[in-house]
Amino acid sequence: MSAQLPTPPQPPAGVIAHRDLAYVIDGHERQMLDLYLPANSAENGAALANNQNAENGAALANNQNAENGAALANTQPENYPLIIWVHGGAFRMGSKEGNPNNPPPFHYATQGYAVASINYRLSQHAIWPAQIEDCKAAVRWLRAHAAEYSLDPERFAAWGPSAGGHLVAMLGVTGHVSEFEVGAYLDVSSRIQCVVDYFGPTDFLQMDAQRPPHGMIHDAPDSPESELVGGNIQAHPHKVARANPITYIPQDDITADVPPFLIVHGDQDPLVPYGQSLLLVEALEKMAADVTFYTVQGGGHGGFTDPAVPKLTAEFLTKHLRAA
C-alpha cells in the first residue's frame, strides 16, 4: 500500500491554482507543473463564463445595466508577468507542491504576478541533461499557452533554491544552447528575462575544494552531483562540464544575451559552498552582465531570517518584470 501524499499547501485568498498541467504530452509523471493565477485573470474569467451558471451570466449581460457590464469588461487585467519556481532537493527529491513550511512563492499571485511551480525528472529517473531539458520544455509550454492563461510571454523570471538555483542559472545562461531543446514547441523560445538563484551549485568539480569543515563531500560516488551525471564527478569531467552553469558563460563576448541575475548565498552553507556563488558572480561580472549578489552573513543552506532577502527579491522582480 503506497503512502498517502501530503496535502499541498493552499495558496492565499485571491489566488486560483491550476494543478498538474502536463508540459510534456504522455510524458513522465514528473513532467507537470502547477500554475497560480490572480483570481481576476482573464483565463479564470473565461472559465467562470463557461460554468454551469452561464445562463445567469447571459441574462446579466443582457439586462438594463449594460453600462456596468461594459465597465466590468474593461477591467480585464493585462497579461501577467510570470515567476517560474524550480524546487530544490539535491536533484533527487522535492516537488512542485513544496510543504507547509516552504511552499512555492504563490503569494506573488496576489501582487500582480502569475506563478508556475514545476516538477522535473529526478536523478533516479534520468541523469543529466534530463533536468534542464524538462525545465526548458516547461518554459516553452508556458510561453506557448501564454494567451490561454493571461501570461506575458516577454516577462518570464526563473527562481529556485539549491538544485533549483542550479537549474534556473542554467536556464539563464543556456538561452543560446539548442542541444537542451527537446520535445514539443521547438519553435517557441525557452529564454527567460531574469534569474533569482538562491545558493545553487555552479561548478561541481570545485565544490570539495571550497567546502567548509564538516561540509558535504561532493566527490563521493553517491553525492547528489555524482548521481546527477551518472558517475563519480571527478571521473567524468566532460559530463560534469555539460552540467555546470559556469561552462556556458562566454568570457570572450561581453555582448552575449544573458539575463539579469540576483544571487543569494549564506556564507556558512554546509551543503553548497559559498564559493560556488562567488564563481558565478565573477564570471558574470567579467562579461559585464547585470548581476546583484547578496551574502547572508552567518547563513546556512537556506532558512534565511534576514529581512533583506525577501526585500531584495521583490525589488529585483519588480525592476525586471514590472518596470516600464
pLDDT at 9: 83
Distance from C-alpha of 37 to C-alpha of 29, rounded to nearest angstrom: 23
Distance from C-alpha of 1 to C-alpha of 288, rounded to nearest angstrom: 55
Residue 72: pLDDT over 70: no
Q: Label residue 324 by pLDDT band (50, 70, 90).
A: low
Structural domains in the chain?
16-41+77-322 (3.40.50.1820)
Residue 255: pLDDT over 80: no
Residue 56: pLDDT over 90: no
Q: Label residue 44 by pLDDT band (50, 70, 90).
A: low
Pick the residue with more confidence: 178 or 65? Answer: 178
pLDDT at 130: 98
Q: Label residue 67 by pLDDT band (50, 70, 90).
A: very low
Count of alpha carbons within 13 angstroms of residue 288, beta-carbon side: 6
Q: Could you report the per-residue pLDDT of 146-187, keeping only the tens digit for each?
A: 999 999 999 999 999 999 999 999 999 999 899 999 999 999
pLDDT at 323: 74
Query: Contact 51/14 with Cβ under 8 angstroms?
Result: no
pLDDT at 175: 94
Radius of gyration of the chain (CA): 21
pLDDT at 256: 66
Pick the residue with more confidence: 6 or 109? Answer: 109
pLDDT at 69: 40
Mean pLDDT of 261-266: 98
First and final CA of the chain: distance in angstroms? Answer: 54
Pick the residue with more confidence: 72 or 17? Answer: 17
Q: Which residues contact 151 (CB under 8 A, 6 or more apart)?
A: 79, 80, 81, 82, 114, 142, 143, 145
Grid cell locating 14: 485571491
Mean pLDDT of 267-274: 97
Distance from C-alpha of 153 to C-alpha of 182, rounded to nearest angstrom: 20
Query: Contact 296/312 with Cβ under 8 angstroms?
Result: no
Interaxial angle between packed helices 42-49 and 54-61, expressed in degrees from 0 to 180 and rounded to the nearest 10: 100
Mean pLDDT of 198-218: 96
pLDDT at 8: 78
DSSP label at residue 318: I
